[in-house]
C-alpha cells in the first residue's frame, strides 16, 4: 500500500519464531477482545444487555430459519468489492471509490434489464457484462487522471463516489432514462422499474436456506484472482509495481498500463457486485438511490481487515455479512443497529494494532543489532 | 441563452447567495485550515470527515448539557481532537497505514454518532446573528461577511493564526520540514512523528470547531447526515489551493460558492435538475485538480510514513 507495508514484509523474521508466533496470537486476542469489550460497554451504557444483543446477532445471522442463506447472499458482493480493493492495493494503488463503482454497475444492469428487449438469459449475462465493464471504466478514469495529471487516486476515486450518486439520482428521476414509467405505481418517482423475472439470478436452495448464485461466482472469482496474483506474470508485475515502482520500471513494467488495468479490474469487480445484488432481489429488483446500502464501504473494510490477502477476504466477508444480517434482529432488543457499524470499525482498528507493534519491535531489534555490529 | 444570462445575473446579484456562500465556505475553511497543516507535515488526513462529525455531535451535547454556545464549541473541539489523537497515534506512532486508519475512523464516528444519537439525541439551538456595525452595511458583500451568526467570525482570526503558526514559528518550520524531508529533519534533532501528531491534532481541533459551528452557528440541530462528505471537499480545497494558505481559503470560498449556487437556483424559481447541481462541487474539484495538480509541488513526503532508519 505504502512504503511501510512493503518494507514490513521484507523484514527477516527475528529470533525465536515460536515465541513471536505466541506473542502475536496473544496480541491479536487482546486487541480483538478490547474491540468487543468496548462494543459491549457501549450497549450497557445505553441500558441494554450485551448478552441479549449477542444472541440476537447470532440468531439473525445464522440460527433463525432461513438466515444463513441471507448472510451468504450479502457476503457475495462484499467479497467482490474486497477482492477489487486487494487487486488495486497489490499494485500500490488505493481505490476507495467502490461505493460509486458498485452503483454504476447496478445502474447499467438496471438499464439493460429494463430498457432492452430479448431473451432473459441474454439480458442477464449482457447486463452483468455491461455492469462489469462500466464499473471498471468508471474506476479507470481515475487512473488516467493519476498518470496523466498526477491527481492522487485516493482523492479522485473518493470524489467520484459523490458524482456517481448524483448521476444515479439523475437517472432514476428522469423518464427517458431509468425512472419507472408504469402509471399504476404511485411511488415511481425515485426508482427504476422492476427487473423481469427471467432476468433474475438463479437461486440455490439447501436445507431450507436460499442463497444467490452470486455466492458461487464470488468464491470462484476469489480463487481466480488469488491464482492470477500469485502465479501469473500479470500478478507479478502488479506486485512489483506495488512493492517498488522504481524497480518495476527498470524491470520493464509500464506503470501506466499495469496501474490502469489494476484499477479497471478493481472497479469491474465492484460493478459486478452491484449487478449481482440487483439481480438477486436486493431492493426488490428495483434500482434507486440508497441501493448500495453501504456494501461498497463495507467491502472496503473487509479488504482492510483481510490485510489484502484475497483468500482471507472470504472469512472476513462472512463475518461482516453476519454482523449485518444479524443486526436485523436487534430491533427486538431495543438497541440501535448502528452498534454493528461501530463494532466493525473497532475490529478493523484492533486488527491493525498487532502487526504494527510487531513491526516496531523488529525495527528496534534491527537497529540494536546494527548498532552492536558497528561497535564490535 | 439571454434567459440563461439573466438567470445567472439574478443569482449572482442576490445578497442571499453571498451570505450562504460565506457560511458554507467558512464551514469548509475550519476543516481545510487544519487539513493544510496536517498535509504540510506529511499526512493526508482522511479522518477530517470524522473529526467534523465528532465535533458536531459533541458540540451539540456540550450545548445541551450547559446551554452555552461557547462551551458547546469547546466540546466540539475536544470531540474533533479525540479523533485526531486516534489517527495520529495509529499512523505516526504505530505506523499503521494512514488511509486505512482515516477511513476506519470515519466509519467509526458515523456509527458511534448514529448509535449514541438514537439514545441521547442532544437538543441544540442556533446562535444569534451578530452584525458588526458599519462593516455589515457595505454593499453586497457587507452583510455576507459581517452579518452572520457570531461563531462564523471565529474563522477569520484562524486564518492569520494558522499562517503565523506555519510560517512564523519554529514549530511551523519544523512541521514543514517534517513534511518535506523527514530524514533530514530527524537528523537535525526534530521528533518527526511527534510533530506530525501535533499537526494532525491541530487539524482535529479546528475540524471539531467547524463541526460544532455547523450545528450551533448554522443549522441549529444535529443530524448524523449533516457533514455528508464535505470533509472530503475540505481535503480537495487544500489540493485546489496548491498547499498554500491563501489558495486553500480561496478553494473553500469557491466550493462554498458552488454549494450556494446550487441552493440559490431553485429558490429563485429556475428549473435545473437538482442532482446535476449537487454534483457540481465534486465535478468542479476534479476538473480543477486535473488542471492544477501538476503545477504545484505537494509536500515531498506527503502520505509517506516515517520510520527512523528506513527509506
In three-state form (DSSP H/G/I as H, E/B as E, the rest C), the secondary structure along A257-273 is HHHHHHHHHHHHHHHHH
Give the three cell numbers for residue B116: 449514541
| Crossing angle for the helix pair B2-13 and B245-267, to the nearest 10 degrees | 120
Q: Which of B42, B100, B239, B302 to mutate to test the interface with A (most CBs of A within 10 A)?
A: B100
Which of B96, B114, B276 minimises the CB distance to A352?
B96
Give the three cell numbers for residue B56: 458536531
Average pLDDT over residues B29-45: 94
Residues 6+ apart with CB under 8 A from B187: none
Average pLDDT over residues B142-156: 80
Q: What residues of chain A, 229 to 258, have a C-beta less than 8 Å from chain B?
A: none
pLDDT value for A203: 78
Which of B101, B279, B289 minimises the CB distance to A163?
B279
Closest CA to A229 of A101, A98, A83: A83
Q: Which of B87, B275, B306 to mutate to test the interface with A (most CBs of A within 10 A)?
A: B275
pLDDT value for A13: 47
For chain B, first and last CA: distance in Å? 58
pLDDT value for A264: 95
**Cα angle: A174, vertex A178, A182; to 5 degrees:** 90
Closest residue on chain B to A298 (Cα): B107
Distance CA B256, CA B23 (A): 8
Q: What residues of chain A, 70 to 109, have a C-beta less than 8 Å from chain B?
A: 94, 96
Yes or no, beta carbons of A155 and B239 under 8 Å apart: yes
**Cα angle: B69, vertex B75, B81; to 5 degrees:** 140
Q: What residues of chain B lie within 8 A of the CB of A371, using their CB?
A: none
Closest CA to B292 of A149, A156, A20: A149
pLDDT value for A252: 80
Closest CA to B276 of A170, A172, A288, A191: A170
Residues 6+ apart with CB under 8 A from A178: A107, A110, A111, A114, A115, A171, A172, A192, A287
A-B Cβ pairs (cutoff 8 Å, strict): 162
Secondary structure of residue B298 in the 3-state scheme: coil
Count other C-beta atoms under 10 Å from residue B272's C-beta: 12
Do the Cβ atoms of A365 and B106 come closer than 8 Å? no
Q: What is the ipTM metric for this complex?
A: 0.87
Q: Pairing mode, if any, of strands A203-206 and A209-212?
A: antiparallel
Instruction: Chunk chain A into consecutive blocks of 10 residues (it has 376) and report each block's average pLDDT, rounded to whole numbers.
Output: 42 57 87 91 82 79 80 92 92 89 92 81 89 94 88 86 88 76 65 79 77 87 92 86 83 83 94 91 80 86 86 91 86 80 89 83 76 57
Q: How confident is the model at residue B82 (pLDDT cuts 50, 70, 90)?
A: very high
- Between A118 and B234, residue with greater pLDDT: B234
Q: Which of B57, B83, B95, B276 to mutate to test the interface with A (most CBs of A within 10 A)?
A: B95
pLDDT value for A183: 65
pLDDT value for A373: 58
User: What is the distance of C-alpha A118 from the center of its chain?
Assistant: 32
Distance CA B165, CA B172 (A): 5
pLDDT value for A293: 83
Average pLDDT over residues B252-274: 78
B266 touches chain A (CB under 8 A): no
Yes or no, beta carbons of B278 and A158 under 8 Å apart: no
DSSP classification of residue B151 = G
Count other C-beta atoms under 10 Å from residue A330's C-beta: 21
Least confident of A128-132, B127-131, B217-221: B127-131
Count other C-beta atoms under 10 Å from residue B66's C-beta: 13
B284 touches chain A (CB under 8 A): no
User: What is the distance of C-alpha B209 from the center of its chain?
Assistant: 9
Q: How confident is the model at residue B310 (pLDDT cuts 50, 70, 90)?
A: low
B300 touches chain A (CB under 8 A): no
Distance CA B243, CA B296 (A): 8
DSSP helix, strand, coil percent of chain B (3-state; round to 5): 75, 0, 25
Amino acid at each position: 500500500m505504502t512504503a511501510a507495508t512493503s518494507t514490513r514484509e521484507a523484514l527477516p523474521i527475528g529470533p525465536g519464531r515460536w515465541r513471536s508466533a505466541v506473542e502475536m496470537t496473544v496480541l491479536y486476542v487482546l486487541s480483538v477482545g478490547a474491540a468487543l469489550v468496548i462494543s459491549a460497554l457501549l450497549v450497557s451504557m445505553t441500558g441494554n444487555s450485551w448478552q441479549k444483543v449477542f444472541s440476537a446477532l447470532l440468531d439473525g445471522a445464522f440460527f433463525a430459519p432461513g438466515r444463513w442463506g441471507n448472510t451468504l447472499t450479502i457476503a457475495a458482493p462484499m467479497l467482490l468489492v474486497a477482492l477489487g480493493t486487494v487487486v488495486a492495493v497489490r499494485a500500490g494503488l488505493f481505490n476507495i471509490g467502490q461505493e460509486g463503482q458498485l452503483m454504476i454497475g447496478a445502474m447499467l444492469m438496471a438499464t439493460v434489464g429494463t430498457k432492452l428487449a430479448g431473451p432473459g438469459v441474454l439480458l442477464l449475462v449482457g447486463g452483468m457484462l455491461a455492469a462489469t465493464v462500466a464499473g471498471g471504466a468508471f474506476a479507470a478514469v481515475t487512473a488516467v487522471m493519476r498518470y496523466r495529471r498526477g491527481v492522487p487516486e485516493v482523492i479522485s476515486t473518493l470524489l467520484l463516489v459523490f458524482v456517481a450518486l448524483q448521476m444515479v439520482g439523475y437517472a432514476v428521476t428522469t423518464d427517458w432514462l431509468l425512472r419507472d414509467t408504469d402509471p399504476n405505481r404511485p411511488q415511481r418517482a425515485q426508482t427504476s422499474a422492476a427487473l423481469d423475472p427471467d432476468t433474475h439470478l438463479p437461486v440455490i436452495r439447501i436445507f431450507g436456506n436460499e442463497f444467490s448464485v452470486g455466492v458461487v461466482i464470488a468464491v470462484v472469482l476469489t480463487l481466480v484472482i488469488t491464482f492470477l496474483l500469485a502465479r501469473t506474470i500479470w500478478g507479478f508485475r502488479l506486485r512489483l509495481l506495488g512493492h517498488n515502482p522504481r524497480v518495476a520500471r527498470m524491470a520493464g513494467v509500464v506503470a501506466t498500463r499495469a496501474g490502469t488495468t489494476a484499477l479497471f479490474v478493481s472497479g469491474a469487480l465492484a460493478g459486478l457486485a452491484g449487478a449481482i445484488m440487483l439481480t438477486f432481489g436486493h431492493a426488490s429488483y428495483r434500482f434507486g438511490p440508497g441501493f448500495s446500502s453501504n456494501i461498497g464501504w463495507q467491502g472496503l473494510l473487509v479488504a482492510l481487515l483481510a490485510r489484502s490477502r484475497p483468500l482471507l477476504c472470504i472469512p472476513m466477508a462472512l463475518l461482516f455479512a453476519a454482523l449485518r444480517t444479524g443486526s436485523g434482529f436487534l430491533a427486538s432488543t431495543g438497541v440501535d443497529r448502528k452498534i454493528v457499524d461501530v463494532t466493525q470499525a473497532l475490529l478493523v482498528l484492533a486488527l491493525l494494532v498487532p502487526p504494527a507493534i510487531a513491526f516496531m519491535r523488529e525495527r528496534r531489534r534491527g537497529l540494536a543489532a546494527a548498532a552492536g555490529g558497528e561497535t564490535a | 441563452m439571454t434567459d440563461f444570462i439573466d438567470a445567472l445575473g439574478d443569482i449572482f446579484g442576490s445578497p442571499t447567495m453571498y451570505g450562504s456562500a460565506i457560511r458554507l465556505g467558512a464551514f469548509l475553511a475550519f476543516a481545510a485550515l487544519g487539513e493544510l497543516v496536517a498535509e504540510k507535515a506529511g499526512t493526508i488526513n482522511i479522518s477530517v470527515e470524522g473529526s467534523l462529525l465528532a465535533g458536531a455531535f459533541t458540540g451539540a451535547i456540550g450545548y445541551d448539557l450547559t446551554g452555552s454556545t461557547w462551551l458547546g464549541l469547546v466540546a466540539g473541539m475536544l470531540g474533533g481532537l479525540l479523533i485526531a489523537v486516534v489517527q495520529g497515534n495509529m499512523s505516526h506512532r504505530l505506523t499503521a497505514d494512514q488511509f486505512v486508519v482515516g477511513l476506519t475512523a470515519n466509519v467509526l464516528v458515523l456509527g458511534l454518532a448514529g448509535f449514541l444519537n438514537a439514545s441521547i439525541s442532544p437538543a441544540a439551538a442556533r446562535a444569534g446573528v451578530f452584525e458588526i456595525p458599519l462593516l455589515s452595511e457595505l454593499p453586497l458583500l457587507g452583510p455576507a461577511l459581517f452579518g452572520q451568526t457570531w461563531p462564523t467570525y471565529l474563522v477569520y482570526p484562524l486564518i492569520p493564526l494558522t499562517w503565523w503558526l506555519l510560517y512564523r514559528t519554529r514549530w511551523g518550520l519544523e512541521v514543514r520540514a517534517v513534511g518535506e524531508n523527514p530524514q533530514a529533519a530527524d537528523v537535525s534533532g526534530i521528533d518527526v512523528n511527534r510533530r506530525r501528531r501535533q499537526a494532525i491534532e491541530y487539524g482535529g481541533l479546528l475540524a471539531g470547531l467547524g463541526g460544532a459551528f455547523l450545528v450551533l452557528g448554522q443549522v441549529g440541530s444535529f443530524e448524523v447526515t449533516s457533514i455528508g462528505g464535505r470533509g472530503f471537499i475540505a481535503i480537495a480545497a487544500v489540493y485546489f489551493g496548491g498547499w498554500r494558505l491563501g489558495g486553500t481559503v480561496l478553494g473553500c470560498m469557491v466550493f462554498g460558492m458552488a454549494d450556494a449556487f446550487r441552493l440559490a437556483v431553485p429558490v429563485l424559481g429556475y428549473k435545473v435538475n437538482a442532482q446535476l447541481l449537487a454534483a457540481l462541487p465534486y465535478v468542479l474539484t476534479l476538473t480543477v485538480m486535473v488542471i492544477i495538480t501538476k503545477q504545484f509541488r505537494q509536500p515531498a513526503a506527503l502520505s509517506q510514513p516515517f520510520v527512523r532508519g528506513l527509506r
